């Protein structure tokens, strides 16, 4: 397979900068794209080249412009595209359009994206391989009346979830029928804005649960391994804020069962590249249930990198270029890692996202055991158009 010489990060802020870092270490020339609203953003200046995309006043749509991004790649002789997370990262149409144009997509196959990028289809795959799933709708709900019937059948409380994306977007907890209409409308609107699709499905809500996920990594030669698990239970408004690897206070038996469940799902679809299989662990019954597969890099991939001493983005690039994984077993875990997300929020307003100028920013020094992945520095402006994430601080230690 031809080597990657020029790579575009079809994303913004800290994840785009993260992609550039691994690409530079492999000697690959980096290319950024930026919306009008991001014309002064840090990621634009961290790449070797940068090009505008979209129109003023379309901050989200600019990064969802599939024809525009493909055309940009063709005009600038770009070999590969890394989608990061969010935006088009789980969009099979995007991957197909790039590959049809002869451009490498840093991600799984089109078929795997279609199956796993659709959360309803992914539930069916989990069921087929014997992994427990929560009670939920078998397809995206098409109307309020259908949503009412489905929710009533499984009994409240329920969760509304976006079918075509993750990361907490398009999710709402519904406690009773009188909350359903407004929450359905909000979930559909948010899903449409974030992923370009307003499809939403319904799932039974587990009240007391831990959010656990297993990192998998596969190559294009049929090899796939797990890189153990993370605990992402500390959340606010369905957004993770603290992530830990490995998951603390998890029995070896449950951990092993989670790993095998994740691998079974990945093998079923012939998965390659980096991906994450997410589960809920009911703390009362100690039973786990499949939630979804995120066929992309995760925000919290850093803690897995820390405890394994590997670069997941680098391995995504190597796998896309046809390389084989170095082993067939999970590497040992070395120590513990915690990531905290640093967000632009207003504590006086229930920690809602906050926009404005960053007058002064001082990130921790990159000392032994400390890592910072940031997308902002002093003098930058935080707009209300995008996620409030400014960066991440990761600590790694022996205990």
Active site residues per annotation = 240
d(CA 306, CA 95) in angstroms, rounded, equals 29
The structure tokens listed for 345 are 């929020």
> 114 and 121 in contact (C-beta within 8 Å)?
yes
Kind of pairing, strands 6-9 and 158-162? Answer: unpaired
CB burial class (10 A; 0-12, 13-18, 19+) of residue 216? buried
Map the chain to HEC letters. CCCCCEEEECCCHHHHHHHHHHHHHCCCEEEEEECHHHCCCHHHHHCCEEEECCCCCCHHHHHCCHHHHHHHHHHCCCCEEECCCCCCCCCHHHHHHHHHCCCEECCCCHHHHHHHCCHHHHHHHHHHCCCCECCECCCCCCCHHHHHHHHHHHCCCEEEEECCCCCCCCCEEECCHHHHHHHHHHHHHHHHHHHCCCCEEEEECCCCEEEEEEEEEECCCCCEEEEEEEEEEEEECCEEEEEEECCCCCCHHHHHHHHHHHHHHHHHCCCCEEEEEEEEEECCCCEEEEEEEECCCCCCHHHHHHHHCCCHHHHHHHHHCCCCCCCCCCCCCCCEEEEEEEECEEHHHCCEECCEECCCCCCCCCCCCEEEEECCCCCCEECCCCCCEEEEEEEEECC
Comparing CA positions, the residue from 395, 398, 298 lying closest to residue 338 is 395
Helix pair 13-25, 312-320: axis angle to 10 deg: 60
């Amino acid at each position: 397979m031809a080597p990657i010489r020029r790579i575009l990060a079809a994303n913004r802020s800290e994840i785009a900068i993260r992609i550039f870092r691994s690409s530079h270490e492999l000697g690959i020339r980096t290319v950024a794209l930026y919306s009008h609203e991001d014309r002064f953003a840090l990621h634009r200046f961290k790449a070797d080249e940068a090009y505008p995309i979209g129109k003023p006043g379309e901050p989200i749509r600019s990064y969802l412009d599939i024809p525009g991004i493909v055309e940009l790649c063709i005009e600038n002789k770009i070999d590969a595209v890394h989608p990061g997370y969010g935006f088009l990262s789980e969009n099979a149409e995007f991957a197909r359009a790039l590959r049809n144009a002869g451009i490498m997509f840093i991600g799984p196959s089109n078929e795997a994206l279609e199956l796993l990028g659709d959360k309803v289809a992914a539930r069916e795959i989990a069921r087929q391989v014997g992994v427990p799933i929560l009670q939920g709708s078998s397809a995206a709900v098409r109307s309020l009346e259908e949503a009412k019937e489905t929710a009533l059948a499984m009994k409240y409380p329920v969760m509304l979830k976006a079918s075509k994306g993750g990361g907490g977007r398009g999710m709402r907890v519904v406690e009773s029928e009188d909350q359903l209409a407004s929450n359905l409308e909000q979930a559909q609107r948010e899903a449409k804005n974030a992923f370009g699709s307003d499809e939403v499905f319904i799932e039974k809500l587990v009240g007391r649960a831990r959010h656990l996920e297993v990192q998998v990594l596969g190559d294009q030669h049929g090899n796939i391994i797990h890189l153990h698990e993370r605990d992402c239970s500390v959340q606010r408004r369905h957004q993770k804020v603290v992530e830990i690897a490995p998951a603390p206070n998890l029995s070896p038996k449950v951990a092993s069962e989670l790993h095998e469940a994740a691998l079974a799902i990945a093998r079923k679809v012939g998965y390659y590249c980096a991906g994450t299989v997410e589960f809920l662990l009911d703390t009362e019954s100690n039973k786990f249930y499949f939630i979804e597969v995120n066929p992309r890099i995760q925000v919290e991939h850093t803690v897995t990198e820390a405890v394994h001493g590997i670069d997941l983005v680098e391995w995504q690039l190597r796998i896309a270029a046809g390389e084989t994984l170095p082993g067939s077993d999970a590497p040992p875990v070395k120590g513990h890692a915690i990531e905290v997300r640093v967000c632009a929020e207003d504590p006086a307003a229930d920690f809602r996202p906050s926009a404005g100028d960053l007058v002064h920013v001082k990130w921790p020094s990159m000392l032994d055991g400390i890592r910072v992945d940031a997308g902002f520095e002093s003098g930058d402006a935080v707009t209300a158009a995008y996620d409030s994430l400014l960066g991440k601080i990761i600590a790694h230690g022996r205990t």
